[in-house]
Structure 1
Amino acid sequence: MVNCGSCGQEARDCVQCSSCSRHFDYQCSGITEAGYRKLGIERQAAWRCPSCKSGGSAVSPRIISGESGLLPKPVTLDQVMQELRNIKRTVDSVSNIVAGIESIKSDVSELKTSMGQFTLKFQGLEERIHVIEQAQAEVLKLSDRILTMESDLNDKNQWMRLNNVEIKGVPMKDRENLFEIINKIGNKIQYPITKQNINFLARVPSRDGLADRAKPIIVSFLSRYVKDDFVASARSFKKLIAADIDLPGTSPIFINDHLTVENKILLKKTKKLKEEKNFDFVWVKNCKIFARKNPGSKIITIKSEKDLLKMQSEKGWRCGYSSSPSIYIFV
């Protein structure tokens, strides 16, 4: 216990002036206990009594709390809510939102201990936080719903392309006859095509938009079975080049199912993972992507990026197989 430098009374809890080193009880210091504790360690260490602030040496008369103008302004609920909104704008993920909410709850608990008069206001704040937590759950549900809708839309777009074939690598020339080109390709792969088989055909811009690259040719067949047989014959031919259809150059020509942009991206990621995980097979059939570790392992259907996790965990069988693609010999 020390004696107050102003009234001379003994004081258990007091503040010390950084200038004259005297101790003052809170009634004589001109500041409330709550206000002093809010100053922080650095500002507490630099605190000066009213006498030293005014430049005098005599002890200043006792300052009545609430009349000196030194009491801190109370924190309003609007200010607290503004801080909460600022915090919310800084978070960039759901996990950060949860962490921020927990931090706010901790801050609310501390404020309730030191500022009892704001208990009711903080209860209102906690209710708002609860609303945010409920909103978070709704956001997650909406996110899942959006992903489902995007997947359904991609499936519908892909379904509309089931009769289509995408032909890449055919050089472009002025006044070209696309049907004549398709006819030559059909004859070369031993699957002749007539106009009666085709709904429409046209060149379309490639996704990369490179001006020096030949635009792919999209062929829409009237029958899905004709389309499947055409693609199968092209793959059996192994290697088709521009010179095979009387066009200059030896650039390869690729004939594949017409995939949506989303499925092309998924196929690219699947092929990359195939190299990383030493898969033997990745292929497309009926506009669907499939993967297989080796002839003895199960076939994995790749419909979304979640299915790529199945490739990462797939171990497969050690096996040998004959030259016949339909016969597998397990060892």
Structure 2
Amino acid sequence: MSSPTHSNDAQDISFTSLTDGSPVNCVTTRRTRVDTEGGLNPLLKELREFKESMVNKMDKWFARQENMISKVVKEFNEVKQTMNQMSNYFDELNNKTTACLNRLAETEKKVKSLEEHTKTITQLEAKIESMEQHSRQCNVEIQNVPERRNENLIKIVEHIGTSIKQSISPNDIVSVHRVPHADTKSTHPKSIVVKLCSRILRDNILSAARMKKGLYTDDLHINGENRRVYVNEHLTLRNKQLFRSARETAKRCNFRFTWIKHGREEGGGVLVAVRRELRPVRRALPGPVPPIVDSIASLLRYRARPEIKRKSSKSAPGPDGIPYIVFKKCASVRKHLLNIYGKIWSRKQIPECFGKAIFVLIPKKDRVTDPKDTRPIALTNTISKIFFSVLQTRMTRFMLSNNYFRPNHQKGFLPGISGCLEHNTLLSESLKDARKSERQITVCWIDLENAFGSIQHELMLFALRWYNFPPLVRDMIASYYSKLRFSIITKEGPSKSLSYNVGLFQAFADDLAILTRNPKHCQVLLDEVDKFCEWTDGLRTKPSKCHCLCLGRRNTRYTSYDPGLSLGGQCISTVTENAPFKFLGRKIDNIGRTPSLEGIVDSFLNDLNKLDAGVIKMLKLWLGLALTADSSALFRGSNSFGMSLKRPSELYKHLRVSKRYILGKSHDDIVTSLPKDEDAPEMINIRSMQ
């Protein structure tokens, strides 16, 4: 920057000198010009060549890029077109799926409607079948009688009556004709259907024909080949098929007789009543019958006094007004009672007074507007309750001696077994073990709607026949069922006496709990329970009062969840903390959580201490003692001038020890092998506990 400035100053000075006319004192010398053209030309040439090569390369690169871009654009357009096509295809598929879902919903509605219609049709078919069979109650079907031209069917019927020694006059015959076979290809003669004037005559003809044990065409004065003639009840086509299947099954199972009615009992053994398709009935039947050990003949030599001693004197009497205390205190009355029982047993008939009962309705709620909200308590005569207590004891002994009962599975009301305690303990220990080891477990509690009030009498008699009870016992129980009558106590007095054709007056132990590993297996058992109830033709489940509890891992967390179980097409509610219920007297709630052991123990001990203090306070008030008086005398023994009372906390310990003692004597190995409670007290002073 300084050089140009200096040059400008020099020029200014020279110009000034010229202007002033003074001589030039300095001469500006020019720089020597360097010849660079010869050295730059090769460089410029190289630069031009490099430029041209770069331009050519750039042109080629741009050409290639344009080609690639054009291809990419083309492919992109193709992809875009394909995406448009796929979008259209998915839109069309979505529309079709929506249409299919709508059609599926409509189809499900139609299927449900068809199922309801099918059920109605089945009921109507059964009703029509029953009505059709009822319309044939006076008919007799004669089979295998050869056909002849101008035959006189009335004469043939009269000859049959003469042969079986049963008089049949033309006035007894309403109509007689031949009917074609259901199978058009059959070569057998058409059957003869005779409609008689009364059902009694029809039964007499059938009975006489069976007593004949062989009726042939020669007996009917029919010329030709001698054939066997069959006289049977006129059945509908469906009943004929059922009877044929029953005969085949009876032959396969080695049954001796298969009759339509009036089954024979002289042969002994089991009688099976077939009223519907054989397959579901066969699945529900028990296994083979073991041999009989006890015939219950010793019932004539029973002693009623032990049974009377076990009865509570506070039990309400029945219609006769006689309490148990009369039979407990009066030996002469017991003697007459034994004489009455002996006559009943010898005559094989139950008196009508044994079947009478008075119903007292106990409300389940504060306000009762429906009879369903009440619990009926049946009060029967004391003399009948003592008789059936003796019979029940002998029947239980009969079942146990024949090994029909399995004490490790069936614990209800068996002698020497605390069924409720053992079942509750097994259930609680199973849930506790599953929660401790975080295993999956599913429990379902089933409630039966009026279980013992809706069971058929025929089903109970069938059970007695199946378990090989003697005919004497079965006849007496059947006689008792036929004479059941009851009246209801109201504010205005007892109601009119009504017959009790279905169910029992009062019974117990209808609680059912299903315990499985997973919900799938539990649902299979629930379906089997539903099928069994349908087979009994009386028992019904009540899904609204059924409960289920399922414990397992859900999203890496062990908790309870809804398994989605159903019974009879209705969902079963899940047990929650806010909606507990009682099973066999024990409260069941959502135990999927892991509570604090210290909190539970502290809370329970506080409750026991409060209970102890409350009991001591009430005892002091009752005895007239001051509240500040020493309470040790209340709990001292009588030899120490005390009252020998027990604190609730001590009673609780005794109950724990008693529970362990009872479970230790169980016949079930699983119950006896249960682990002991860690905080359970030692078994000290067992005599004082007993």
Asked if these proteins are the same fold (TM beyond 0.5), I'd say: yes
Query: Separation in 1 of the partners of 2:209 and 2:69?
Result: 105
Partner deviation per Cα, 1:213-262 (whole Å, 9 max, x = no partner):
21110000010000110111011000011111111222110000000011
The verdict on how the C-alpha distance between 1:68 and 1:312 changes in structure 2, with shifts beyond 3 A counting, is: closer
Q: CA deviation at 1:138?
A: 3.9
Corresponding residue of 2:520: none
1:268 aligns with one of 237, 244, 249:
244
1:61 aligns with one of 62, 65, 72:
72
Whether the 8 Å CA contact 2:176–2:193 is kept in 1: the answer is yes
Map residues 88-99 of structure 1 onto 2, 5 A cutoff: none
Q: Residue 170 of structure 2 aligns to which amino acid in structure 1? A: K
- Which SS does the other structure have where 1:269 is aligned? helix
Query: Separation in 1 of the partners of 2:179 and 2:259?
Result: 24
Corresponding residue of 1:149: 124
Q: In the alignment, does 2:260 pair up with 1:284?
A: yes
The verdict on how the C-alpha distance between 1:80 and 1:151 changes in structure 2, with shifts beyond 3 A counting, is: same
- Which SS does the other structure have where 1:153 is aligned? helix
Query: Separation in 1 of the partners of 2:243 and 2:221?
Result: 31
Q: CA deviation at 1:175?
A: 1.0
Query: Separation in 2 of the partners of 1:311 and 1:242?
Result: 43
Corresponding residue of 2:97: 80
The higher-RCO structure (CA 8 Å, 6+ apart) is 1
Q: In the alignment, does 2:226 pair up with 1:215?
A: no
The verdict on how the C-alpha distance between 1:266 and 1:211 changes in structure 2, with shifts beyond 3 A counting, is: closer
Whether the 8 Å CA contact 1:296–1:316 is kept in 2: the answer is no
Q: CA deviation at 1:317?
A: 6.4
- Which SS does the other structure have where 1:166 is aligned? strand
Query: Separation in 2 of the partners of 1:59 and 1:66?
Result: 12
Whether the 8 Å CA contact 1:296–1:318 is kept in 2: the answer is no
Q: In the alignment, does 2:229 pair up with 1:253?
A: yes
Whether the 8 Å CA contact 1:167–1:255 is kept in 2: the answer is yes
Q: In the alignment, does 2:186 pair up with 1:174?
A: no
Query: Separation in 2 of the partners of 1:304 and 1:149?
Result: 15
The verdict on how the C-alpha distance between 1:311 and 1:285 changes in structure 2, with shifts beyond 3 A counting, is: farther
Gaps of 5+ in 2: 1-66, 293-469, 474-690
Moved more, 210-219 or 133-142: 133-142
Corresponding residue of 2:345: none
Gaps of 5+ in 1: 1-55, 85-124, 320-326
Q: How many residues in Structure 1 have an aligned counterpart in Structure 2?
A: 221
Whether the 8 Å CA contact 1:166–1:255 is kept in 2: the answer is yes
Whether the 8 Å CA contact 1:277–1:312 is kept in 2: the answer is no
The structure with the larger Rg is 2
Q: Residue 261 of structure 1 aligns to which amino acid in structure 2? A: L
Query: Separation in 2 of the partners of 1:291 and 1:316?
Result: 19
Query: Separation in 2 of the partners of 1:328 and 1:237?
Result: 27
1:70 aligns with one of 72, 82, 89:
82
Q: CA deviation at 1:301?
A: 2.7
Corresponding residue of 2:276: 304
- Which SS does the other structure have where 2:260 is aligned? strand
Q: Between the two proteins, what is the percent identity of the paired residues? A: 23
Query: Separation in 2 of the partners of 1:211 and 1:130?
Result: 48
Corresponding residue of 1:224: 199
Q: CA deviation at 1:305?
A: 0.5
Corresponding residue of 1:323: none
Whether the 8 Å CA contact 1:202–1:219 is kept in 2: the answer is yes
Query: Separation in 2 of the partners of 1:202 and 1:311?
Result: 41
Query: Separation in 1 of the partners of 2:230 and 2:167?
Result: 17
Q: In the alignment, does 2:189 pair up with 1:189?
A: no
Query: Separation in 1 of the partners of 2:220 and 2:72?
Result: 107
The verdict on how the C-alpha distance between 1:134 and 1:207 changes in structure 2, with shifts beyond 3 A counting, is: closer
Cα RMSD (Å) of the superposition? 3.4
Whether the 8 Å CA contact 1:168–1:255 is kept in 2: the answer is yes
Bigger helix share: 2
The verdict on how the C-alpha distance between 1:174 and 1:308 changes in structure 2, with shifts beyond 3 A counting, is: farther
Partner deviation per Cα, 1:189-214 (whole Å, 9 max, x = no partner):
00021011111000111222246321
The verdict on how the C-alpha distance between 1:259 and 1:81 changes in structure 2, with shifts beyond 3 A counting, is: farther
The verdict on how the C-alpha distance between 1:235 and 1:211 changes in structure 2, with shifts beyond 3 A counting, is: same
Q: CA deviation at 1:68?
A: 4.6
Whether the 8 Å CA contact 2:246–2:278 is kept in 1: the answer is no
Q: In the alignment, does 2:173 pair up with 1:198?
A: yes
Query: Separation in 2 of the partners of 1:241 and 1:220?
Result: 21
- Which SS does the other structure have where 1:159 is aligned? helix
Partner deviation per Cα, 1:95-120 (whole Å, 9 max, x = no partner):
xxxxxxxxxxxxxxxxxxxxxxxxxx
Query: Separation in 2 of the partners of 1:191 and 1:317?
Result: 43
The verdict on how the C-alpha distance between 1:176 and 1:225 changes in structure 2, with shifts beyond 3 A counting, is: same
Q: CA deviation at 1:274?
A: 1.0
Query: Separation in 1 of the partners of 2:290 and 2:472?
Result: 11
Query: Separation in 2 of the partners of 1:64 and 1:272?
Result: 77
Give me the TM-score of the superposition, normalised by structure 1: 0.58
The verdict on how the C-alpha distance between 1:174 and 1:273 changes in structure 2, with shifts beyond 3 A counting, is: same
Q: CA deviation at 1:141?
A: 3.0
The verdict on how the C-alpha distance between 1:246 and 1:316 changes in structure 2, with shifts beyond 3 A counting, is: farther
The verdict on how the C-alpha distance between 1:270 and 1:285 changes in structure 2, with shifts beyond 3 A counting, is: same
Q: CA deviation at 1:169?
A: 1.1
Q: Residue 82 of structure 2 aligns to which amino acid in structure 1? A: L
- Which SS does the other structure have where 2:194 is aligned? strand
Q: CA deviation at 1:311?
A: 8.0
Query: Separation in 1 of the partners of 2:281 and 2:178?
Result: 36
Whether the 8 Å CA contact 1:271–1:282 is kept in 2: the answer is yes
